[in-house]
């Protein structure tokens, strides 16, 4: 009670019968209180009853004697703001502790997730950016590797495939550009030779050098040969240009094969024999209905025969055969010349490729390197196939298969 008086906390001593015998408030001495409603030994009950009030009454029993008999009650009227109960202090502290633990755990999880995202996503993405920049700079020889098989791994694999494709296209473009430059050089040289020859013979004829009809005819024959050579070169260039633009003109129409091929093959005998070679013509030509463009097919045959003439020497032969095979019209052109070298075979149908000529050939290295590529395009446009077989020093055979109507 002394402590209560020092803190200015009102107190009252109440007898067991409810009579106030001592109070810090003098006006209440001698009065009586209802013990049932005034005595609150439990702080929680006092708080509940005094809810909304500025103060609450807390009672303490007063004990006396060796048997600790209760002789009265001490009631303290305490301002609410001074009360600090176990419930009011323990509950917020426990919640605060839980919140702190949850916050620390959340921070730990966020740090772990951030590290995982950096390792699993950000670092691989930075590597992808580096590889993409390398590709943009033209560095195609650096492989793109990623050991994992997740979505990012698939992205790495696709980027590496793109790198390989770009590298292949780049190398192909470089090769093609180089080949086109060589083509221009070769064409310039190949055109210069027949044109110069034509010019010389024309000047000779115009100056009256030919003393008789026989010499004149000889000169005219030479001029005709070189004019044909020039025409073939120009035709190859034209078809090549159309091929580059995807506009090569092939107009197949239904025709009977015998008449068409007889007209195509008839002039070949004279050309072959004039080179000192033996010519074996087809024994018979099947007469079936096929869809072909005679002009383009004649161009293919002329090109194949021309190649055979370049790779043969005097005494060799050129043989042409036609037959029906597996529902297709089959045409073969074979020679007994030097054949195609094994290292040249994979590139025979490549544009700009020019194989080597036999050592016995008196011709210079002529041609554009476009002929067989053009032949393949023409036959493909007819829905057919062209293939070859060759053995060194034994000859070459080209086979063309055309579908029937």
The domains of the chain, with CATH numbers, are: 2-83 (3.30.450.20), 151-240 (1.10.287.130), 249-403 (3.30.565.10)
Helix (H) or strand (E) holding 15: strand 11-15
Distance between CA atoms of residues 231 and 68, nearest Å: 140
More confident residue, 137 or 235: 137
Average pLDDT over residues 78-103: 66
> What is the per-residue pLDDT for 2?
47
What global pTM score does this model have? 0.50
Distance between CA atoms of residues 144 and 381, nearest Å: 40
Q: Is the pLDDT of residue 243 over 70?
A: no
> Torsion angle, CA of 338/341/345/349, rounded to 10 degrees?
-60
Residue 247's pLDDT band (cuts 50, 70, 90): low
Q: Is the pLDDT of residue 38 over 70?
A: no
Question: What's the half-sphere exposure (Cβ side, CA atoms, 13 Å) at 61?
Answer: 9
Distance between CA atoms of residues 399 and 165, nearest Å: 33
Taking the CB of residue 382, how many other CB atoms lie within 10 A of it?
Answer: 21
* Cβ 367 vs Cβ 237: under 8 Å: no
More confident residue, 9 or 83: 9
Residue 83's pLDDT band (cuts 50, 70, 90): low
Average pLDDT over residues 205-231: 82
Q: Are strands 55-64 and 385-391 parallel, antiparallel or unpaired?
A: unpaired
Q: Are strands 11-15 and 69-79 parallel, antiparallel or unpaired?
A: antiparallel
Average pLDDT over residues 140-149: 79
Q: Is the pLDDT of residue 86 over 50?
A: no
> Torsion angle, CA of 157/162/165/167, rounded to 10 degrees?
-100
Distance between CA atoms of residues 23 and 6, nearest Å: 15
Q: Is the pLDDT of residue 294 over 60?
A: yes
More confident residue, 318 or 145: 318
Residue 400's pLDDT band (cuts 50, 70, 90): very high
More confident residue, 156 or 43: 156
Average pLDDT over residues 153-168: 86
Q: For the chain, how are helix, strand and coil distributed in percent, rounded to 5?
A: 50, 20, 30
Rounded to 5 degrees, what are φ and ψ at 207?
-90, 0
**In which region does residue 190 sit, left (phi positive, over 0), alpha (psi from -120 to 50) or beta (all else)?**
alpha
Distance between CA atoms of residues 325 and 36, nearest Å: 124
Residue 297's pLDDT band (cuts 50, 70, 90): very high
> What is the per-residue pLDDT for 53?
58
How far apart, in Å, are the Cα atoms of 20 and each of 12, 78, 234? 7, 18, 136
* Cβ 95 vs Cβ 122: under 8 Å: no
Copy the structure tokens of residue 59. Answer: 């009672």
Q: Is the pLDDT of residue 256 over 90?
A: yes
* Cβ 335 vs Cβ 319: under 8 Å: yes
Across 51-55, 139-143, 285-289, 302-306, which has the greatest mean pLDDT? 285-289
Nearest to 316 by CA among 333, 332, 336: 336
Average pLDDT over residues 89-94: 58
Angle between helices 257-265 and 294-310 (to 10 degrees): 40
> What is the per-residue pLDDT for 321?
96
Average pLDDT over residues 354-376: 64
> What is the per-residue pLDDT for 365?
46
Residue 217's pLDDT band (cuts 50, 70, 90): confident
Q: What mean pLDDT, rounded, does the chain reach?
A: 80
> What is the per-residue pLDDT for 92?
62
Residue 43's pLDDT band (cuts 50, 70, 90): low
Distance between CA atoms of residues 142 and 389, nearest Å: 39
> What is the per-residue pLDDT for 11?
77
Distance between CA atoms of residues 356 and 343, nearest Å: 11
pLDDT in tens, 185-207: 767 767 777 788 888 888 888 88
> What is the per-residue pLDDT for 214?
84
Average pLDDT over residues 82-91: 52
């Amino acid at each position: 009670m002394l402590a209560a008086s020092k803190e200015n906390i009102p107190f009252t001593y109440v007898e067991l019968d409810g009579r106030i015998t001592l109070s810090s408030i003098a006006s209440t001495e001698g009065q009586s209180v209802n013990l049932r409603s005034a005595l609150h030994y439990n702080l929680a009950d006092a708080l509940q009853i005094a809810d909304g009030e500025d103060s609450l009454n807390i009672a303490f029993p007063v004990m006396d004697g060796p048997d600790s008999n209760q002789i009265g009650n001490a009631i303290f009227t305490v301002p609410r703001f001074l009360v600090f109960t176990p419930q009011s202090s323990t509950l917020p502290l426990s919640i605060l502790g839980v919140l702190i633990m949850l916050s620390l755990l959340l921070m730990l999880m966020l740090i772990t997730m951030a590290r995982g995202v950096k390792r699993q996503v950000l670092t691989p993405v930075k590597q992808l950016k580096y590889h993409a920049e390398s590709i943009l700079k033209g560095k195609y020889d650096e492989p793109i590797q990623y050991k994992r098989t997740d979505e990012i791994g698939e992205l790495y694999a696709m980027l590496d495939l793109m790198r390989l494709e770009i590298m292949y296209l780049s190398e192909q473009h470089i090769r093609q550009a180089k080949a086109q430059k060589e083509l221009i050089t070769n064409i310039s040289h190949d055109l210069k030779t027949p044109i110069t020859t034509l010019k010389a013979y024309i000047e000779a004829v115009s100056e009256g050098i030919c003393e008789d009809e026989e010499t004149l005819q000889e000169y005219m024959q030479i001029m005709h040969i070189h004019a044909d050579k020039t025409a073939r070169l120009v035709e190859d260039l034209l078809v090549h240009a159309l091929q580059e633009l995807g506009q090569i003109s092939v107009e197949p129409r239904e025709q009977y094969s015998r008449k068409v091929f007889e007209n195509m093959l008839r002039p070949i005998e004279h050309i072959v024999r004039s080179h000192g070679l033996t010519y074996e013509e087809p024994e018979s030509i099947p007469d079936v209905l096929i869809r072909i463009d005679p002009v383009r097919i004649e161009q293919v045959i002329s090109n194949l025969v021309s190649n055979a003439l370049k790779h043969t020497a005097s005494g060799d032969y050129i043989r042409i055969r036609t037959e029906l095979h597996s529902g297709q019209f089959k045409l073969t052109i074979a020679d007994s010349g030097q054949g195609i070298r094994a290292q040249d075979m994979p590139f025979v149908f490549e544009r700009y490729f020019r194989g080597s000529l036999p050592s016995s050939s008196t011709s210079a290295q002529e041609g554009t390197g476009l002929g067989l590529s053009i032949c393949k395009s023409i036959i493909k446009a007819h829905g057919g196939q062209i293939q070859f077989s060759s053995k060194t020093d034994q000859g070459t055979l080209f086979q063309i298969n055309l579908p029937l109507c």
